A and B are shown apart, each in its own frame.
Chain A
Amino acid sequence: MSISKQAARSLTQAALKAATLKDVSVRVTSSARGYLRFSQNQAAASGEAERLEVEVSASVDGRSASVRGSGGDREALARLVAQAEELARIAPVDPELMPPLGPQTYAQVDARDRASAAIGADARAELAGKMLRVANKARLDAAGMIESADVAVALANTAGLFAYHASTEVSASMTCRTRDGTGSGWASAASHRIADLDPTALATRAADKATLSQNPEELTPGRVTVVLEPAAVADLLAFLGFALDRRSADEGRSAFSRAGGGTRIGEAIGQSSITLRSNPAEPLCPSIPFAGDGQPHPATTWIDGGVLKALACSRYWAKREGLSPLPRPASFLLSGGSASVDELVQGVDRGVLVTRFWYNRMLEPQTILATGLTRDGTFLIEQGKVVRAIKNMRYNESPLTLLKNVLALGRPERVGGGRQTVVVPPMVVADFNFSSLSDAV
């Protein structure tokens, strides 16, 4: 079980009491995580880990340092505080150091689900059992993962700030492969509520994709219309989220820098259907309401009707340039419509349906050009129907092109596990650039 608000408060107070410098802050992260991993249609590994991590940052006369340690007894806390203070005293001056924030007001976020916090090895095994039954019945090779976490984060400082956020996360994912090795399908789901997970439906999706993706044919790489499922959209959107930074744009080293100086805020960077928001209190994907330095995460519209509206801005840069600070968000929401993936497919004359991308890497930050490959279910669409499986392909494409070439958006959904919490719709995008073929299944 993760640490309660009361226990976190008393732990952080104990640490701050040991402080001798004026500016000291403490961050406590307490987590209980459990998982069951399966492969070859059987349990492969199962584990649980409890962690308590304490990070202490101290600053004095423009000098600053932070130290982190595990364990939370008073002696260990005092040692960490002393260590941070000692390092801060000898650290070189950082002219960009900002004074600690005083008490803040945060959005009310309900991200911890009692039933999810109570998940144990039995519940994980039961979920895995249901998923394996689907694969066994379909005579497919299956590998997958069930993970549950109960996490609490607390932040406190000598200026009187105290912030606490508790959350749960349950995720499940599964890959099914056909026994002849020519087909592979994947599906995943994540939520803060276990009740939102349907292991049988998820496994069925992965199994169906595996069967459908057997014996793929080659499609000549080139520019083509694509229907991207939400997981694929999230993969590409991650590059965009990272680039939404004010300072690098002002400094001329970002895709959002304007030639000749300044940023592209106010410029139309996508179709009018594109609106990108963040909101920690979003019911479908609640996320931490405060940033690492204690700043509240405000509900923000980053791109509004295709127009770039905001870039994340550090407190230092905001002060220097006379701007308002805006922390990087903990979640992203891309608006959409109401169509399902199937309905989007029905509107496409000829195109490619992409389940997800893999090994996505930035190629060229100047244009946010990224590369990666399709994986676990890539299909040819003709006259509104999925007609056959095609071989995986590498793309070289920028999420900025996605925003410009979007033809339709479907119903947004939460995309699971292992990355920033995002809610994104499936998308139909014209002229998506596939550059080479892959034999990988």
Chain B
Amino acid sequence: MPRGRAWAAPEFRRPAANAAPQSAIQTADVIAGSRLPADEPIARLAVEAAVKAGASYADARLVLWRRDRVSVRDDHVSGVGANEEYGLGLRVLVDGAWGFAASSTVDRKVAARLAKDAVAMGRRSAALRRQPIVLAPAPAMVGEWVSPFGRDPIAVPLQEKADMLLAAAQAALRVPGIRNVDASVLAVREEKILITSEGSRTHQVFFRVMPSLTATAIDRRRGRFASRDHEVAPMLAGWEHVEGARLVEEAPVIAQEALQKLHAAAVEPGLKTVILAPSNLWLTIHESIGHSTELDRALGMEANFAGTSFIKPSDTGKLRIGNDKVSFFADRTQAGGLATTAWDDEAVAAQRWPLVKDGVLVGWQTTRELAGAIGEEASRGCAYADSYASVAFQRMPNVSLQPGPEGYTTEDLINATDDGILISGRGSWSIDQQRYNFQFSGQAFWEIKKGRLRRPLRDVAYQANTVEFWNSCDMIGGEGSYRLGGSFSDGKGEPGQSNAVSHGCPPARFRANVLNIGGAK
């Protein structure tokens, strides 16, 4: 039964406090060991050259990524990889238009060329602008920040990682009927120095980890199979979070649940009550509320790719997105949140602010370029670029659902439900380009009858309209049931960029259209 599991340190199981995020206790050591400051004069040179060439604003980012992955398939290691990516990106504002140039070669000659190219590009683009881009003012920021971690996940020996994954896979394979197990752990270190022409200089290091385990049960005779994923969330944390997932201990349970899913009863479709566990609901929040409150989308700036939004800036303070039980806040300060930072990629300090209060739209995600469009004087600090070679633009902060004041537990929600389905884990997800119609699946499904979990189900997906769905929400768990979920790879922009982001929520109860997605087999 999934509901008793936590898999996260206690500080990740609370909504964010309204304060600047804590820096790691090892901050001084991590910063002192960095190789980036040696290239800082080159970044400064790029900014100075851009300003000299006519840029009204310039920022340079030195960005170093390290991604270590170990993968296990059944009884053996199937992949060991360590990827590093490093380079310099320069963004300039010239005659009211952006220009950007980047290179994986970091030297003085290249810095000068990037400045020349970026400024020329900005000038060329200015001829295709109707209005100049104006940046909201921001105070100069100088500082260093390292995301809190217990144990550096990059420094954990390969053998230790592999042994743990192999032991987990073996434990799952020992369950009769389980034919395949895939397990992996991805450890990521992102480091950047940002220099702006307005005097900001920030140096930050982020550690993120993503453990995973999938067991597949196969019924060859009937030609059927079912897979079950461990529901642990990726987190802004060190190796201690991977250990907290207890992959080895949980593997037999995951395996049993894969078997259970293979032999579960098919769901009866129809309009039903669904209780969504945090391990499922986070993604529904991400897609329906997270993306629709991105101001660049609402302004049409993503129209050619990710889409626009069903919400308009003029709806602020008026539009009811959910009933009065429902409040969402954006924050880049949440402990463990994948989008948590001290400063964004425009050196704006991280903050926490409301997006939806008592069901009504009250706020937006913005950058310095966007703030003015809704009459705000300062950016909310949502600028991010996923690499030295990518340009910063508006990306999603952690967006979370406020727990209910009644302090309900998952059990309370189940006990109060006469006829419904409990859905946990991340399955298939799809939503339209204005964020009205969504359809999600999950990992595990339980039929609820008369306040009790009756039997497991299979082939479940739920479909709804965003506004109807959040208006149907009639029970929300309390603070004690709040959990963070998240993803390493939220896609947006052209050329496409990937953003890591978390969403916190308690379990909650809704009405949705339940589908049977089982095939003919």
Contacts and interface: CB of A to CB of B under 8 A. Distances in A.
Interface of A: 33, 35-53, 55, 64-71, 83, 87-88, 90-96, 121-122, 125, 128-129, 132, 141, 143-145, 147, 173-175, 177, 184, 186, 251-253, 257-261, 358-367, 369, 371-373, 375, 392, 394, 396, 398, 418, 435-441
A141 B302 CA distance: 12
A130 B73 CA distance: 52
A125 B463 contact: no
A84 B83 CA distance: 10
Contacts of A145: 304-305, 494
Contacts of B307: 358, 375, 440
Contacts of B128: 36, 38, 42-43, 125, 128-129, 132
Interface in B32-70: none
B513 interface: yes
Contacts of A418: 496
Interface stretch (B200-208, B315-323, B434-442): B434-442
Contacts of B76: 92-96
Interface stretch (B143-151, B216-224, B270-278, B499-507): B216-224
Q: Which of A184, A359, A435: most chain B CB closer than 10 A? A: A359
B102 A94 contact: no
B495 interface: yes
Given A47-B101, A47-B121, A96-B76, A87 B437 contact: no
Nearest to A376: B433
B180 A253 contact: yes
A129 B223 CA distance: 55
Which of under 10, 10 to 19, 20 to 34, or 35 or more describes the interface residues of B?
A: 35 or more
Contacts of B101: 47-49
A128 B486 CA distance: 37
Nearest to B99: A46
Interface string B83-108: 11111010000000111111111100
Contacts of B83: 55, 67-69
Q: Which of B120, B131, B223 is packed against the most chain A CB atoms within 10 Å?
A: B223
Nearest to A358: B433
B140 interface: no
Interface of B: 73, 75-87, 89, 97-106, 117-118, 120-122, 124-131, 157-159, 162, 166, 179-180, 216, 218, 220-225, 227, 299-305, 307-308, 310, 389-391, 393, 428-437, 439, 441, 459, 461, 463, 465, 494-496, 513, 515, 517-521
B430 A371 contact: yes
B430 A373 contact: yes
A143 B159 contact: no
B183 to A, nearest CB: 13
Contact of A258 (B159, B223, B431, B459): B223
Contact of A359 (B227, B430, B496): B430
Interface centre among A47, A88, A96, A373 (most CB of B within 10 A): A47
7 contacts: A39-B302, A43-B129, A46-B122, A48-B102, A143-B301, A366-B518, A435-B463
